[in-house]
Amino acid sequence: MEILSNENGWLRIKTDGFSVFKTFDCGQCFRFDPVEDANFDHRVDGVAFGRSVSFAEKEGDLFVRSDEEDFNNIWKNYLQLEVDYKAIDKKIVESLPLSDQSHMRLAVETGSGIRILRQDPWEALCSFIVSQNNNIPRIKKIISAMSEKYGENIGSVYTFPTAKSLFEAGEAEIFALRTGFRAKYIFDAAKKVHTGELDLNKVASAATYEEAAEMLMSVSGVGPKVAACTLLFGFGRTDAFPIDVWIKKVIEKRFPNGLDKSVFGNEAGIAQQYLFYYERYIEG
């Protein structure tokens, strides 16, 4: 990774194959939207960590609308730009028996350029509670309404609401945002995080995946899948392997003898994202 230039508020960065399109199109975050911009091949605008930000790509380079301080302190880690994904991709494929490598290699090649974003833990927990039995457009609509109502106005957009603001709003007000059965789960999460009953710092420092997942599952409505998504996308636990209908489908279709996710080790979540992207967005 290398900053090549800084022009008109855009940093131009040489990366090792980062894809803005794939990274923000694979269902891992819900606060970015594509923007038509003739200056770029693809661009998304959104909000993360209390800041409005834009990411774009052109001629294989990444563009970030940010100053260098925020880029170095926030966005470099958020986008996981210093992680060697080429080495990870090779390891993922070679972790499997030869008979299964062709399927995994195709998924890796299809998803090449995806990076697991390092999102805010509280936002990830709340967002994936909202995601239960939901589709992406509706998830984004709910989160947008929640942010507009209880987040902070930072110009033309709103930050994600804090646990305190949602706790103080109460379950009935959360329900009024068309969250449905998820309202009581969102409220319980907000209550536990705000009061410290659930300490996200302790989740982050948990010695094992199981210990971290158990703490998250103390929240009403948070089961293994929501916990896995939260740990993968909010805590950088790439040993997490969320299993949903799409992952079950691709395993049944491509790996008739089964797929032992443990063979991927700390790269399990990255392998999962490649499989998810391939099955849902390419083959689904």
The Cα-based distances of 254 to 105, 246, 248, 262 in angstroms read 12, 12, 10, 17
The overall longest dimension of the chain from CA atoms, in Å, is 55
Domains of the chain, earliest start first: 2-78 (3.30.310.260), 85-114+240-283 (no CATH), 121-234 (1.10.340.30)
pTM as predicted:
0.95
Q: Which stretches of the chain score pLDDT less than 50?
A: none
User: Residue length, the chain?
Assistant: 284
Sign of CA dihedral 182, 183, 186, 191: negative
- Alpha-carbon span 58 to 39, nearest angstrom: 8
Specify the pLDDT at position 18.
97
**How do strand 42-48 and strand 51-58 relate by DSSP bridges?**
antiparallel
Pull the structure tokens for residue 84. 């060697």
Specify the pLDDT at position 104.
94
- Alpha-carbon span 123 to 141, nearest angstrom: 15
Specify the pLDDT at position 283.
60
